[in-house]
Amino acid sequence: VLPFPSQVVYNRVGKCGSRTVVLLLRILSEKHGFNLVTSDIHNKTRLTKNEQMELIKNISTAEQPYLFTRHVHFLNFSRFGGDQPVYINIIRDPVNRFLSNYFFRRFGDWRGEQNHMIRTPNMRQEERYLDINVCILENYPECSNPRLFYIIPYFCGQHPRCREPGEWALERAKLNVNENFLLVGILEELEDVLLLLERFLPHYFKDVLSIYKNPEHRKLGNLTVTVKKTVPSPEAIQVLYQRMRYEYEFYYYVKEQFHLLKRKFGLKSHIRKPSPRPEFFIPSPLETEEPINDEEEDDEKWLEDIYKR
């Protein structure tokens, strides 16, 4: 048994910075000698029982230590008799995630690979150039539930009810975050996410922040920025905000837990420069209080307890 988690799963949420993190993981896997297991399947997040069993079997037999990454809703390994791995993930403001996905599907990113044409070859021109305000305000399927209920199923799991917007899926997602995820960070504070990953999983993420800040890597990362994004009208954003109320309840819950974790390890959140967009569109990270001096619980002991989950 290795003295650190030897099975890590990053079931990455779409359009939440995962391509940036995977670029880092490719560098880190060579640097630190762990097995990076990736998947070419990007559009199948919901699996049948047999598909779950097959995927869990394939993951569990990978050479350890491994880090497996794929866009897939939470898998309960213990349900099928496997050892439950350590899960990590990153989420972002739900409206921002939706808009990034909306324009990425249509126009891709700065890499110039015409990925959007490959992903959506059958998209009609009128659909590709559909105005985002029309999509939202006229209630097109792409801009209404259940398609807007996107982040929570990644944490709720494979149960059919996890795809139904409501309290059941929300509470189950929160429970899984608490019981099965070592860390769920927020993209708006990515550098702090990387700092904590380096602290919690040094055998995988040591030096990740220095690599991320390297100008050459930043140049690569900038190529994955979605192009032709436009900001919807305040009215349209308010409509989205109301439709995504469960997503926001989950996002703020995760954000609160993340800030508590940052305080525990002495990291401060800093208020960013005001955004020209509506305040509710990109909630500014809160400024946390001074770090907690918790003498009753040793930080390393706390990490050991997480590793034993």
Asked if 71 is an active-site residue, the reply is yes
d(CA 299, CA 266): 11
Amino acid at 68: F
Burial 19-50 (b: 16+ CB within 10 A, else e): bbbebbbebbbeeeebebbeeeeeeebebeee
**Measuring CA to CA, which residue among 301, 191, 203, 186 is closest to residue 252?**
186
At 46, list the tokens.
């919901």
d(CA 250, CA 270): 22
Check: CB of residue 237 under 8 Å from CB of residue 281. Answer: yes
**Could you say which of 32, 71, 203, 217 is catalytic?**
71
Active site residues: 71
